[in-house]
Structure 1
Amino acid sequence: MNTKYIALSPIYSTDSNLISQATYNKDDLRSIRCLKWDVPFDERKNIIGVYGEDFFTTHVAGQCGLHLCNVDDHWLATVPNQYLKRTVTRQKLKDVSVEDSFIKPVEAKYFKAGIYKTKEAINGFNNLDKDQYVYISTVVEWDCEVRTFVQDDEIKTQSTYLKDGQYYIDTHIPKDRDGFKKFTNAFLNDPEVKLPKAIVIDFGYIKGFGWALIEANPVYSSGIYACDPLKVLEVLIKSCEN
């Protein structure tokens, strides 16, 4: 039997340990820790998934010839407003002129996403690449936030991770469960919404407006929270194409 592997970051975390444990239930699948960010040459052909920090997953995927599924860099700003329920734009950091807005890096987490009165208030602003793209959105108040692992436009597992601004890790949807199901079904089945075969989608309930899309994240570097690790593993493998 030809054993396949999930390549894990050398940084041990609760999430990577859960992925590792999930492989124990598979006869022909195991995990391997890449202590020096290198997969042994003879095993590279047997790597079918990677999990860890953004830079690690990109590096190891390149070694092993994997294509990592993700949304396009401009994706969030193209989503129909009926799902965003707030204004979201994408522009270069040097061109940002709005005040009291939520600002988030489009690509790697070069700075902490958050509400900023001005762009200059970003920690370490003077050392940032001003040509990098960021998302700017109007400030809203989230009642709760839910992470979903999505494969082929279907939620495979989900977990609440924030409620009233505090961590709330539970499989239970604490607000308008029927509305959540109706909203996510409409979003995932809308032909105008372009998604890869496997992706993490975060949804939230905006006070006064209802359920809305927060953002999309790559499966191979997203936290699991209370999601089912076995389901996460299945979606993770689909997100890493040979």
Structure 2
Amino acid sequence: MPVLLLSPRFSSDSIALATEASRLSWRVHRLHDRRPPARLAEEDLVFYGESLLADTIGKALGLALLEPAADTLSLLPEELVRRDVRFTTLGAARGERFPRFVKPADEKQFRASVYHSGAELPGPEVLEDGLPVLTAEPVCWLDEYRCFVLEGRVVTASPYAWKGEREESSLASFDLEGARTFAAEVLARAGDSFPSAVVLDVGRIEGRGWAVVELNPAWSSGLYACDAAGVLRVLQRASGTSRTVASGDARWLRPLPNIEG
């Protein structure tokens, strides 16, 4: 039976997953600190937590964590992203024409936002010029949706933003069915460039139509109103162990550092 391994940090998402896992007769283990019991390495683990925790405990527990390549969004066809997206470095991004949306390609070393000049970005005294980043043409997102994907199909989906702000579905004109339809189109056309278990965010750009917002690892993504049972199905593939990972998923594995102590 799987063991759902959770961060010491309580959140509504981790509580929802723990509740559903217990209903399915899974065992649930919430870590008390960043030093997990060695016995957990023998279990059929399914991990859900922040990337820093994954890097701290992952190697010792033999976790196999799937994540999309950092440059995936920039390689998608223009008609799926409907804006100029580039994969570059922080140093090179300072020389682009602004305003420009800039975000770290992998971690959250600085705030993802629309910047109005290169001088607003972190300088080389703060972050290395070679840090990978994604830059994009600023656009106005009308609405945004989170899709948990398994083997090319949307398992569960939820709206999460209306005009850049969190909104309850009853308060905005969301089109969840349209989001699912567009996500299915994206997966049919570009699914081979995604991990078999991943989070795909889509939305509507004002004046342009449906587009891919971004891709994220399922094991560290918020649920919003997605079905917890469906998310657990995706997590089983996205955050298992080296004993359970499928051979075809090897190219999507997150490199995990060796942490002593």
Q: How many percent identity over aligned positions?
A: 28
1:184-207 superposed Cα distances (whole Å, 9 cap, x missing partner): 221111157511110001001000
CA distance in 2, matches of 1:212, 1:191: 13
Report the TM-score when normalising by structure 1: 0.91
Tell me what 1:210 maps to: 209
CA distance in 1, matches of 2:217, 2:52: 12
1:122, distance to aligned residue in structure 2 (A): 3.2
Q: Does 1:133 align with 2:137?
A: no
Q: Does 1:48 align with 2:81?
A: no
C-alpha distance 108-224 of structure 1, shift in aligned 2 (>3 A): same
The answer (yes or no) to whether the contact 1:50–1:240 under 8 Å persists in 2 is: yes
Unmatched runs of 5 consecutive residues or more in structure 2: 242-261
Secondary structure of the 2:128 match is coil
1:39, distance to aligned residue in structure 2 (A): 2.1
Tell me what 2:28 maps to: 31
5 Å-filtered alignment, 1:1-242, equals 3-27=1-25, 29-96=26-93, 97-98=95-96, 99-122=98-121, 126-170=125-169, 174-176=173-175, 179-191=178-190, 193-242=192-241
The answer (yes or no) to whether the contact 1:171–1:226 under 8 Å persists in 2 is: no
Q: How many positions carry a matched residue from both structures?
A: 239
Corresponding letter in the other structure for 1:14: S
The answer (yes or no) to whether the contact 2:48–2:239 under 8 Å persists in 1 is: no
CA distance in 2, matches of 1:83, 1:137: 14
1:64, distance to aligned residue in structure 2 (A): 1.5
Corresponding letter in the other structure for 1:55: L
Unmatched runs of 5 consecutive residues or more in structure 1: none
Corresponding letter in the other structure for 1:53: E
The answer (yes or no) to whether the contact 2:81–2:212 under 8 Å persists in 1 is: yes
The answer (yes or no) to whether the contact 2:67–2:217 under 8 Å persists in 1 is: yes
C-alpha distance 77-191 of structure 1, shift in aligned 2 (>3 A): closer
1:67, distance to aligned residue in structure 2 (A): 1.4
1:48-85 superposed Cα distances (whole Å, 9 cap, x missing partner): 21111111123222221121111112111111111000
Where does structure 1 differ by over 6 angstroms across 4 or more consecutive aligned residues?
none
1:159, distance to aligned residue in structure 2 (A): 0.9
C-alpha distance 74-138 of structure 1, shift in aligned 2 (>3 A): same
Instruction: Flag the structure with higher strand content.
Output: 1
1:116, distance to aligned residue in structure 2 (A): 0.2
Q: Which moved more, 1:212-221 or 1:179-188?
A: 179-188
1:174, distance to aligned residue in structure 2 (A): 3.1
C-alpha distance 183-172 of structure 1, shift in aligned 2 (>3 A): farther
Query: What is the root-mean-square deviation in Å for CA atoms of aligned residues?
Result: 2.0
Corresponding letter in the other structure for 1:121: E
